[in-house]
């Protein structure tokens, strides 16, 4: 199993992605944090807390960029709650963040695991763009980059045109999509909007559940109760799942251009002939079954509930 470095802005679905990786005993060698869903202080603290709750406090965490390259910082706390974890309190961090900055750590791990490292990005791509600016050669040292971002053939989730991670730092995304990666996979809303924990599944989790499944019960409560949604989308867990098994999705090569400003800021525009492997279809049932098994969530075939998720 290849070593994985997760670059994240730990809100609710990043936390679920960490839990999924650990549930499958993936070789998670480090986490780097970035401002996105919430402020960098919270994304860093949440990452440490999630790892500690799941018994993985030995995984080092490196603090990254506190704002986008050019755009002003705007969070998604309206989705993730004020603390980024849907308001859930999941315990204290049992370890401190490490000394290196996130871009430095990305460079260091790319060199240490030359040709072997899988880089998974579930937040804005600021840290990775900075790392590329410092050391362009990491694109060839990283085995593959799997990012959750973009909406290539469907509407966005922050504007009619854009998915949040790309919209949050479109200048960074432009640099990352243009780099000469060995392999780059883009897991966008086209497929992540097909995978969700439904309210019926959530209700089957006992209120006194502990560990990963207890965390999922707590951090998704706001989605179902306060926001009155029928589904908790598994955007970031799907990106992690594809990093571990590409067969879960259909991948089609495209060139990807990003609109960096104006009304369509963050829009991901595809054209033929590029090297970005864009996910265009997903084995939703297969993934959901794996995700639920890894975390201990009761799985039911609730297609209507998933399709109704907002």
User: Comparing C-alpha atoms, which of 27, 61, 60 is closest to residue 42?
Assistant: 61
pLDDT of residue 305: 58
Percent of the chain predicted with pLDDT > 90 = 90
Residue 242 has pLDDT above 50, yes or no: yes
Helices (H), 113-256: 126-134, 138-141, 164-168, 170-178, 189-192, 199-203, 211-219, 221, 235-244
pLDDT of residue 171: 98
**What domains lie within the chain, and their CATH numbers?**
4-307 (3.90.245.10)
- Which pLDDT tens digit goes with each residue over 152-203? 999 999 999 999 999 999 999 999 999 999 999 999 999 999 999 999 999 9
Residue 307 has pLDDT above 60, yes or no: no
The answer to whether 138 and 109 have CB atoms below 8 angstroms apart is no
Phi, psi of 3 (to 5 degrees): -65, 145
pLDDT of residue 308: 40
The answer to whether 147 and 185 have CB atoms below 8 angstroms apart is yes
- Which pLDDT tens digit goes with each residue over 49-96? 999 999 999 999 999 999 999 999 998 878 877 888 999 999 999 999
- Which pLDDT tens digit goes with each residue over 255-269? 999 999 999 999 999
List CB contacts of 85: < 8 A, sequence separation 6 or more.
Answer: 10, 11, 12, 15, 46, 49, 218, 219
pLDDT of residue 304: 65
Tell me the C-alpha distance between 84 and 75, whole Å.
10
Can you say how many angstroms the Cα of residue 202 is from the centroid of all Cα atoms in its chain? 21
pLDDT of residue 306: 60
pLDDT of residue 75: 84
Of residues 270 and 310, more confidently modeled? 270
User: 279: which strand partners?
Assistant: 251
List CB contacts of 99: < 8 A, sequence separation 6 or more.
Answer: none
Residues labelled catalytic: 235
């Amino acid at each position: 199993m290849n070593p994985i470095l997760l670059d994240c802005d730990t809100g609710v679905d990043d936390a679920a992605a960490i839990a999924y990786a650990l549930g499958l005993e993936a070789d998670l060698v480090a986490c780097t944090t970035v401002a996105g869903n919430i402020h960098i202080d919270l994304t860093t603290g949440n990452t440490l807390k999630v790892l500690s709750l799941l018994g993985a406090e030995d995984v080092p965490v490196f603090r990254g960029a506190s704002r986008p390259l050019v755009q002003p910082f705007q969070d998604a706390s309206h989705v993730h709650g004020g603390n980024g974890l849907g308001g859930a309190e999941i315990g204290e961090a049992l370890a401190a963040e490490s000394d290196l900055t996130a871009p430095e750590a990305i460079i260091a791990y790319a060199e240490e695991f030359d040709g072997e490292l899988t880089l998974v990005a579930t937040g804005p791509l600021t840290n990775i763009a900075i790392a590329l600016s410092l050391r362009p050669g990491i694109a060839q040292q990283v085995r593959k980059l799997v990012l959750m971002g973009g909406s290539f053939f469907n509407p966005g989730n922050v504007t009619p045109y854009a998915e949040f991670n790309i919209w949050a730092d479109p200048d960074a995304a432009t640099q990352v999509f243009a780099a000469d990666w060995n392999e780059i996979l883009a897991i966008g809303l086209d497929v992540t909007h097909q995978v969700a924990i439904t309210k019926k599944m959530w209700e089957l989790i006992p209120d006194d559940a502990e560990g990963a499944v207890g965390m999922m019960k707590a951090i998704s409560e706001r989605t179902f109760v306060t926001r009155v949604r029928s589904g908790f989308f598994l955007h970031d867990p799907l990106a992690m799942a594809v990093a571990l098994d590409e067969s879960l999705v259909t991948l089609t090569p495209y060139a990807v251009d990003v609109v960096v400003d104006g009304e369509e800021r963050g829009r991901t525009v595809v054209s033929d002939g590029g090297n970005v492997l864009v996910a265009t279809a997903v084995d939703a049932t297969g993934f959901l079954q794996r995700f639920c098994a890894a975390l201990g969530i009761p799985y039911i075939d609730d297609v209507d509930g998933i399709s109704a998720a907002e």
